[in-house]
Amino acid sequence: MLTLALIFGGRSAEHEISLASARFVADMLDRERYEIVPVGITRDGRWLRPLDLDAALSGGLDDCGADDAHLVMDPARPGLESAASGFEPLDFAFPMMHGTFAEDGTVQGLLELAGLPYAGGGVAANAVGMDKELMKDVFAARGLAQVDYLVLRDAAATGPGAVAAVEERLPYPVFVKPVNLGSSVGMTKAHDRAELGPALALAAAYDRKVIVEQTAAGRELECAVLGNEEARASVAGEVIPANEYYDYEAKYTEGMMSFVIPADVGADTQAEVAALAVAAYEAIDCCGFARCDFFLEQGTGRVLLNEINTIPGMTPMSGFPRLWAATGVDNRALVEEIVQLGLRRHAVRSNLRTTR
């Protein structure tokens, strides 16, 4: 039996989504194969060892009863240390967190220093996948088609100068987002100058870099990817939000979106989306699992790559598990494969030389 640290919460605007995703993973893990050690990270960054996993995931970390905890920074004895439980050896970590201080390579770097195998991509893949500017630059270097965009940073991200820079480059409507965040938090669709200024200010409240993207008129598609050296893609699905666009409410409120799997786009487009998803995955050197989002442009039929999510949502409503279920991989098998991919990646890295 493997002792698995399920890490959730975090210093992110996507804290609540992390709890729901962690609940899904916990429910899908085979308890005859894994002993789960819950590790919660509060909104202010404290690491806790909850006494009850169910209470922590259902009621949150504030009132669940937990001890302060920390990872032991000793690759010879990876584990968790807390006041009540003492030292608990760990075999594997499953970080199921989204957004800043989680999906951006920071937690992955900590796990690398601790010598602990973990689920998902490495430090660089997560860092590049979270930073939309770096991600899009990498995609452009690989020749992957995407919408036009503009990045504004620091003091230049708001005010009249920022509005003028956007209007000089992109036609309305535009999407305005924090560069380092997901789940559509801080995102606005600005239809004109009156909406653009507040949209920039909102995004800048979440991150020092703001990205403004040209709107792609068409359909929204998603495709999931699994694998290390040889990645494979799921069927593509189509997101049809009840709102004007796929915002936070549509993503996480029952009845606010429909998800058609497989997307009714024809075999050729399905194959193109799958190939582009694997290409995006390989471009950032991802491994384990990820989800890629696309636009199918109206009129031209072009498939445009939007972004990659290196720790996609894993709630019952989330696209990632639903796409794999439609491809023939049920939820329990999906979570098991993610764990095995992480163990294999760690074994390969452990054989690399660290001395001359």
Question: What is the tens place of the pLDDT at every residue in 77-97?
Answer: 999 999 878 999 999 999 999
CATH number for 268: 3.30.470.20
By CB atoms closer than 10 A (0-12, 13-18, 19+), residue 83 is exposed
pTM of the model: 0.92
Same domain? 133 vs 164: no
At which of 214, 242, 268 does a domain end?
214
Same domain? 62 vs 203: no
Q: 131-158 burial by CB neighbour count: b if 16+ within 10 A, else e?
A: bbbbbbebbeeeebebbebbbbeeeebb
State both tokens at 288: 């384990």
Beta strand extents in 228-287 (DSSP E only): 232-233, 237-241, 257-260
By CB atoms closer than 10 A (0-12, 13-18, 19+), residue 22 is buried
CATH number for 102: 3.40.50.20
Question: Which pLDDT score is estimated for 257?
Answer: 76
Question: Which pLDDT score is estimated for 63?
Answer: 79
pLDDT in tens, 288-299: 999 999 999 999
Residue 356 lies in a domain: no
- Cα 299 from Cα 120, distance rounded (Å): 37
CB of 49 closer than 8 Å to CB of 71: no
Residue 39 lies in a domain: yes
Report residue 255's pLDDT band, with 50, 70 and 90 as the boundaries.
Answer: low
CB of 182 closer than 8 Å to CB of 98: yes
Q: What is the domain extent for residue 41?
A: 2-118
Same domain? 105 vs 21: yes
State both tokens at 120: 């998902």
Question: Which pLDDT score is estimated for 353?
Answer: 86
Please determine, for residue 173, whether its predicted confidence score (pLDDT) is greater than 60.
Answer: yes
Question: Which pLDDT score is estimated for 254?
Answer: 57
- Spell out the residues 6+ positions from residue 163 whose beta carbon is closer than 8 angstroms to its own: 193, 196, 197, 200
Residue 229 lies in a domain: yes
Q: What is the CA radius of gyration of the chain?
A: 20
Please determine, for residue 250, whether its predicted confidence score (pLDDT) is greater than 60.
Answer: no
CB of 180 closer than 8 Å to CB of 130: yes
Question: Which pLDDT score is estimated for 354?
Answer: 87
Same domain? 157 vs 141: no
Give the number of domains in the chain. 3
3-state secondary structure of 288: strand
Please determine, for residue 184, whether its predicted confidence score (pLDDT) is greater than 80.
Answer: no
Same domain? 89 vs 134: no
Q: Give the HSE-up count for residue 273: Cα atoms under 13 Å, Cβ half-sphere.
A: 33
Amino acid at 53: L
pLDDT in tens, 21-43: 999 999 999 999 999 999 999 99
